[in-house]
Structure 1
Amino acid sequence: MSTRTPVNSSVRRQGVTVAERSPAPDIARGFMLLLIALAHAPMYVTTSEPGVVTHPWGGDTLDRVITFLSLGLVDNRAYPMFAALFGYGMAMLVARQRAAGTTAAAAGRLLRRRGVFLVLFGLVHFVLIFPADILAPYGVAALAFGWLLTRGDRALNKGVVISAVLATVLATLLSLAVAVEESTKGTEGLRGTVWAHDYGDAVVERLSQAPFASLHILLGWPIVTAVLVGAVAARRRYLDDPARHRALLKRVVLLGGAVSVAGGIPLALIGAGSWHPGGVATGAVTALHVVTGFAGGLAYAAAFGLLVARSQRRGLTPGPVARALGAVGRRSLTCYLLQSSLLALVLARVAFGLGDEIHSTGAAVVAVCVWLTVVAVAVALERAGLRGPLDALMRRLVYGKPARRATGPAPEPAPASGPAKQPASGEQS
């Protein structure tokens, strides 16, 4: 007769500890926030007409170079990178819960709780701070597609393929529609409430926009595909054990980077004022930029896996830069919202209004300075042994109060299908 202890479906392990975390995902998240700052800051520049993506038109030679480099290397590359890391973390959450004895259904409920609270955090951010929020879309993605992360590899792989096809078609159609509309109606109002003169009016307008903002991002960018690809990578532990997967990570960096740069250059030429195509051609080039940005986001994440693998192979401990980036990554929710708030405070017309005085170069300088400020805050919290306050709040909301240590034998872990049953260490806090 079997003496195995029945698994309690209500078992819920608390969030990942610092000792369990792998460095590569956290370091990548820390760097990713710099890319997001560089992508968002130009939206506040009002000294020129709105240009390609988030950038203003024109400027001097240095401004044009900055715009070219940003469009080639940053824009539409940070979102998929963050989405892939988000998917990686969610898959690790499921794996860790399953290893602790939680049923697939209970782990799925945990994912949905996380999705709900991400949507709420994102809506507050959207309405009060910045109307290009990425938290709510990721929360919606978790709610709509998180169930795939509790299924087997076959279902998850099918989800990747189907979502990739749909994302390519939808991104192309939306890019073409927006470009044609701008070519006929102009760019007036393109920046919306980012250029608002009255904060109260901006908040009221954003309240009416909020229900549709996440849907627009999910339809216009390959967010869902990036999330699911990140989950596949987590099941294979590409960033948790990067030394074992160095060959694959190298191929992702080389191939993904090449595809990303090649797909980014045409739109970068338009943004820098070196090419002036019509509306349809601009839409097609924008779609190319968005789709190939997916490859760029994966290449960035893989690059940090390679850096960690190199250090581990040489027996080196993380240096000060890696430690600082990791501190930011471990507090990515707090740091993302702090960074967004500081950019709005410095650049927005409704605050200090520096966006009315600068162009692309100035926006890039502000973005870097704000990011460095956020890094300093994260490092200070790390040295004090403190979590990011918003990350701690999210953990409390998702997991509830830590359960008291139970007496008696612990339940035997339930088997998880595929590589996902490995101990998880890459989940965001």
Structure 2
Amino acid sequence: MTELLRQRARPKAPTYPRILALDVLRGLAILGTLGTNVWIFTNPEGPPSALEAPTTDTLAGAVEMVLRFFANGKALALLTLLFGIGLELQYRSARKRGRRWPGWYLWRAGLLFVEGLLHYVLVFEFDVLMAYALTSVVVAFLVGRSDRAVRWWMIVVGTLHLLFVGLVTLGMSMVSASNQPLVVPSRPDLFTHGGYLEQLSDRLTLAPFYRLEAIFILPLGIVLFLAGSRLLRAGVFDDTAKGARIRARLMVVGLGVAFPLNAVTMFVLGPSWALVDRYVLAPVVAFGLLGLVTTLLHRMRAGRPGILRRGLTAVGRTALSCYVFQNLLAAVLCYGWGLGLTARLEGARPWWVIGAYVGIVALFMSLSSLWLRRFDRGPLELMWQWAYQAPQRRRPAAGSTPPPVAAG
């Protein structure tokens, strides 16, 4: 491991063309996930509060609801799209080098699953890496098939996903009409006064509940992974007339149609439509965000990157590390076994939450920028790469491979 750090001390030229927009988009998606998770960490009820919607009777509640709306589901879907794009890039790299596919990619997916499992058990209840790992195994066998086959897979899986979300939404509407609250069997003060080991035990005990989101992420992930792969092939990142047309269509559908509908389901139809918000409309909005950010980056290409763009790029290149450590830092700041700010500042919500989010974002933009001055990957990415290459060291064709898509 020490030798690997020495080898990485001097940045090396990438072995494949880097799409700079991907780094910015990935950084935006990673920090966007914190925009959703921070409201969970700062709620006295902890992760079970994810089932609740803030009341809008007060200014504080209205502000929280608006801020949660902008992040909810959109960052998750954007990150999922980017995973699919990364899988496509790795497929191209394997084919170009004449390597068997999926081959060692399955080992890559296994490592990602272990990474997600550790993140779930040790840090945060709503980890997405495990679901991404399972999704990537399925998509790895589909990405090289014909466009027609991929299209049918997207239609069938997408239809099943919509039907399931519709049925669950109907059930939630019936529960809401009967005024029966959803109860999570977790100690009420566990996250404000409980110890770390108590929370760890709670995550293990309630794993079936906390892992329920995978039921929605897996089919949605298959569709978005394949969509990301096909968008890359279609030239969505190309600075051409064709690429501009694709991005314009994505913005019209995602931001012109899905975004207003998402606002209606969130602010008008209420909590019973939460699954439609997060797993149907928000993913469509994510397509629009991909088109918008890429278009803006093409227009600003000639100018010198500003502090925001440089920060997002740095986070995007160290995305796996930032994703895990930002959640760990939020837990240390908020939970009872740490600084306990959630209990201390409960009356100042949501204003202190906004400050905490801005502070964490600024910190990780700065730390990732400083780290990349010496290394070309984040700390967890370096460990991950070492583990990925370990069983291949005696294979003459092993070589070096690009980092996992989550790591930039």
TM range (shorter): 0.7 to 0.9
Could you say if the C-alpha distance between residues 47 and 194 of structure 1 is closer, same or farther in structure 2, counting changes exceeding 3 Å?
closer
Unaligned runs of 5+ in 1: 1-14, 408-423
**Residue equivalent to 2:330:** 343
Amino acid at match of 1:34: L
In structure 1, how many angstroms separate the alpha carbons of the residues matched to 2:286 and 2:394?
A: 41
Q: How far 1:349 sits from its partner (Å)? A: 2.9
Alpha-carbon displacement from aligned partner over 1:111-157 (angstroms, at most 9, x marks no partner): 32222111111111111111010111101111233211132322222
In the other structure, the counterpart of 2:366 is 376
Distance 1:191 1:69, change over 3 A: farther
Greater mean deviation of Cα atoms: 42-51 or 328-337: 42-51
Deviation per CA, 1:275-324, whole angstroms, max 9, x where unpaired? Answer: 7x6xxxx4246425531111111111222211222134xx3343332222
Kept in 2: contact 1:87–1:230 (CA 8 A): yes
- Does the CA contact (< 8 Å) of 1:176 and 1:287 recur in 2? no
Alpha-carbon distance change, 382 to 59 in structure 1, aligned in 2, over 3 angstroms: farther
Mapped contact 2:258–2:284 kept (Cα < 8 A):
yes
Shift of 1:55: 4.9
**Higher mean Cα deviation, 77-86 or 398-407?**
398-407
Which of the residues 174, 189, 208 maps onto 2:184?
189
Q: Partner residue of 1:151?
A: 145
Aligned match of 1:390 in 374, 380, 383?
380
**Gap regions ≥5 residues in structure 2:** 1-11
Contact 2:266 2:274 in 1 (8 A): no
**What's 1:252 paired with?**
250
The answer as to whether partners of 1:16 and 1:425 remain within 8 angstroms in 2 is no
Alignment of 1:249-398 (within 5 A): 249-269=247-267, 282-284=271-273, 286-312=275-301, 315-356=302-343, 357-358=345-346, 359-398=349-388
Give the Å deviation of 1:56: 3.9
Alignment of 1:82-161 (within 5 A): 82-102=79-99, 106-161=100-155
Moved more, 226-235 or 190-199: 190-199
1:35 aligned to which of 12, 22, 32: 32
Deviation of 1:174 after TM superposition, in Å, equals: 3.0
Q: Does the 8 A contact of 1:172 with 1:284 survive in 2?
A: no
Instruction: State the partner residue of 2:3.
Output: none
1:192-271 → structure 2 map (5 Å cutoff): 197-210=194-207, 213-214=210-211, 216-219=213-216, 222-239=220-237, 241=239, 244-269=242-267
Instruction: Say if 2:55 and 2:61, in contact at 8 Å, map to a contact too.
Output: no
- The alpha-carbon distance between structure 1 residues 184 and 331, as it changes in their structure 2 partners (threshold 3 A), is same
Separation of aligned partners in 2, 1:190 and 1:59? 28
Q: 2:382 is paired with a residue of what secondary structure? A: helix
Residues 193-235 of structure 1 deviation map (CA, whole Å, 9 limit, x = unaligned): 7667232222123224446755532436723221221111122
User: Is the aligned partner of 1:170 residue 2:164?
Assistant: yes
Question: What is the CA distance between 1:245 and its match in structure 2?
Answer: 0.4
Residues 204 and 93 of structure 1: is their aligned pair in 2 closer, same or farther, counting only changes over 3 Å? same
Does the Cα contact within 8 Å between 1:89 and 1:234 map onto a contact in 2? no
Q: Which has the higher contact order (CA 8 A, sep 6+)?
A: 1
Give the 3 Å change call, closer, same or farther, for CA 131–230 of structure 1 in structure 2. same
Give the structure-2-normalised TM-score.
Answer: 0.82
What letter matches 2:387 in structure 1?
L
Q: Tell whether the 8 Å contact from 2:54 to 2:64 is kept in structure 1 after alignment.
A: no
Cα distance in 2 for residues equivalent to 1:131 and 1:325: 25
Q: Distance in 2 between matches of 1:243 and 1:365?
A: 41
Equivalent position of 1:9 in the other structure: none
Separation in 2 of the partners of 1:185 and 1:195?
Answer: 26
Q: What is the letter of the counterpart of residue 32 of structure 2? A: L
Q: Secondary structure at the match of 2:300?
A: helix
Please state how far the C-alpha of 1:28 moved relative to its aligned partner: 0.5
Q: Which amino acid aligns with 2:81?
A: A
Tell me if structure 1 keeps the 8 A contact 2:56–2:65: no
Which residue is equivalent to 1:3?
A: none
Q: Distance in 1 between matches of 2:329 and 2:316?
A: 18
**CA, structure 1 residues 319+68, in 2 after alignment: closer, same or farther (shift >3 Å)?**
closer
Contact map agreement 2:74 2:278 (CA 8 A) in 1 = no
Distance 1:16 1:98, change over 3 A: farther
When the two chains are superposed, the root-mean-square deviation of aligned CA atoms in Å is 3.3
Q: How far is the alpha carbon of 1:425 from its aligned partner?
A: 11
Amino acid at match of 1:325: L
Query: Structure 1 residues 92, 211: CA separation in 2 closer, same or farther (over 3 Å shift)?
Result: farther
Total equivalences in the alignment: 384
Q: Is the CA contact (8 Å cut-off) linking 2:334 and 2:340 kept in structure 1? A: yes
Question: What is the deviation of 1:179?
Answer: 5.6
Q: Which residue, 48, 62, 65 being the options, matches 2:63?
A: 65
- What secondary structure sits across from 2:305 in the alignment? coil
Report if the CA contact (8 A) 1:87-1:226 is conserved.
yes
TM-score, normalising length: structure 1? 0.79
Of stretches 210-219 and 252-261 in structure 1, the one that deviates more from structure 2 is 210-219
> Quick one: distance in 2 between partners of 1:384 and 1:362?
34
For 1:101, what is the secondary structure of its paired residue?
coil
